[in-house]
Amino acid sequence: MMTQSWRDAAFLHWAVEPAEVAPFLPPGVHPDVPDGGSHTYVGLIPFRMVGAGVSRGPSIPFLGTFLETNVRLYTVDERGRRGIVFRSLDADRLAVVLGAQAAFGLPYRWARMAFRHAEGELTYRATTRVGGHRSLVRVRPGEPVSDDLTTFLTARWGLHERHLGLGLYVPNVHEPWPLRTAELTAFDDELVAAAGFPQLAGRAPDLVHYSPGVSVRFGLPGARPEPALPARGEPSRH
């Protein structure tokens, strides 16, 4: 369906109880938990979108490259497909925001954004144009890292979404993220709280990583089977 590159990505993660995440998920989708673990995660990921294009065609001029920051959750559906659910996506291209809202119902918002890479640190800034929610993230990349938890958080091969009454799963494929540890040298964020997690406001993330990026291909969305609604008077399982 489309190709794009995700560059200079910072990954900030907070461990939370699955019950804190479950109310925000579509029917038939559940919080995903690492093997042997008891927590799921809320992620704040600022990055540069570069060279987005339709199918295998060239990048769309101007609109194909922009800044984005998203708040995301980690999910698994009833077929065992692991993915993510976005709570918010902020971008500095209005046409991208409107197109993604219309096509997939994704919670994109138009924001003022800035990125700077200088003196070994990467700085990401965002302010939503409606609501004025702000985010400042500055990281200093460290040593390469690869373990089961970082793989769980970054090797997510699809997007779970509900749009126009349908449960959708949009697959993607990319090479493994080349990840590094990262020191958080400045942090002031309101996006995570605005996405439904005020309990995380003022709490430092549990994990911080950085990646120079990957190239991504997205497949066509497919309808995802959803559980039947319970009979009148019967409790729901979700």
Separation in Å, CA 121 to CA 11, 41, 86, 166: 14, 25, 27, 42
pLDDT at 163: 78
The model carries a pTM of 0.88
Band (pLDDT 50/70/90 cuts) for residue 24 is very high
Computed over every residue of the chain, the mean pLDDT equals 88
Q: Cα(120)–Cα(140) distance, rounded to whole angstroms?
A: 6
- Name the one residue in this structure whose structure tokens are 């090479």: 175
CATH number, span 2-223 = 2.40.400.10
Q: Cα(40)–Cα(24) distance, rounded to whole angstroms?
A: 13
How is residue 94 annotated by DSSP?
H
pLDDT at 178: 96
Q: Where are the domains of the chain?
A: 2-223
pLDDT at 5: 87
Residue range 118-156, pLDDT digits in tens: 999 999 999 999 999 999 999 999 999 999 999 999 999
Does 81 have pLDDT greater than 50? yes
How is residue 92 annotated by DSSP?
S
DSSP strands (E only) in the chain:
2-16, 29-31, 40-54, 66-77, 82-91, 108-118, 121-128, 134-144, 158-163, 166-174, 180-189, 207-218, 222-223
Q: Cα(157)–Cα(81) distance, rounded to whole angstroms?
A: 8
Q: Cα(238)–Cα(176) distance, rounded to whole angstroms?
A: 33
| Tokens standing for residue 107 | 């919670």
pLDDT at 222: 64
Q: Cα(110)–Cα(32) distance, rounded to whole angstroms?
A: 29
pLDDT at 165: 72
Q: Could you tell me the end-to-end alpha-carbon distance of the chain, in angstroms, rounded to an integer?
A: 31
DSSP strands (E only) in 92-228:
108-118, 121-128, 134-144, 158-163, 166-174, 180-189, 207-218, 222-223
Residue range 97-115, pLDDT digits in tens: 998 888 778 999 999 999 9
Residue range 29-54, pLDDT digits in tens: 999 999 988 999 999 999 998 876 66
